[in-house]
């Protein structure tokens, strides 16, 4: 689940500004990743590498424009992520802590803007949807991750 906060009024220079600001959004997207993990026996130290797909699609809260028309903005953002981590088991048991960088590469940055008709004038012609790509999305995001986990089973050679 993702939450967006900020002001979005002009997603791309070609479309011009929207008549109202979009401030907050909530999203429920799809995420899928593979994890490779190694830890040295009896040392408590290890490494992890996770790679995957992260969808950040969402819809902003509906805004009312100065013409009293409902306006909606939905996004379709997605990323390919790489998450290398150091792993530390403080008690040489199943419990471990991990942390490391998270690098995300933007794959998609599309939006759809819908401007509805003023409800006081029901015979208005429908406005066409405006589709485009956000112009100010970073191609690469660098962030940090920390967490805790527990091993429930392990594979042993031989």
pTM for the model stands at 0.77
Q: What does the pLDDT look like over 74-118, one tens digit per residue? A: 989 999 999 999 999 988 778 999 999 999 999 999 999 999 999
The CA-based angle 137-138-141, given to 5 degrees, is 135
Q: What is the mean pLDDT of residues 42-67?
A: 90
pLDDT band at 154 (very low <50, low <70, confident <90, very high): low
CA atoms within 13 A on the CB side of 52: 14
Angular region, 88: left φ>0, alpha ψ -120 to 50, beta rest: beta
**DSSP code per residue over 33-90:** EEEEEEE-TTT-EEEEEEEEEEE--EEEPPEE-TTS-EEEEEEEEEEEEEEEEEEE-T
18 and 70 in contact (C-beta within 8 Å)?
Answer: no
77 and 60 in contact (C-beta within 8 Å)?
Answer: no
CA atoms within 13 A on the CB side of 107: 13
Between strands 2-8 and 22-27, the pairing is: antiparallel
């Amino acid at each position: 689940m993702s939450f967006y906060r900020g002001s979005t009024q002009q997603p791309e220079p070609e479309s011009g500004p929207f008549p109202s600001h979009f401030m907050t959004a909530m999203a429920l997207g799809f995420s899928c990743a593979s994890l490779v993990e190694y830890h040295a026996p009896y040392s408590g130290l290890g490494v992890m590498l996770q790679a995957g797909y992260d969808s950040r699609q969402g819809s902003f809260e509906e805004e009312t424009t100065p013409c009293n028309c409902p306006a909606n903005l939905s996004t379709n953002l997605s990323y390919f992520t790489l998450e290398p981590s150091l792993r530390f088991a403080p008690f040489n048991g199943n419990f471990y802590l991990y942390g490391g960088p998270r690098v995300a590469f933007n794959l998609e940055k599309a939006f759809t803007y819908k401007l509805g008709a003023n409800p006081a004038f029901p015979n208005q012609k429908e406005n066409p949807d405006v589709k485009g790509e956000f112009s100010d999305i970073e191609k690469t995001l660098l962030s940090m991750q920390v967490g805790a986990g527990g091993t429930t089973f392990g594979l042993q050679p031989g």
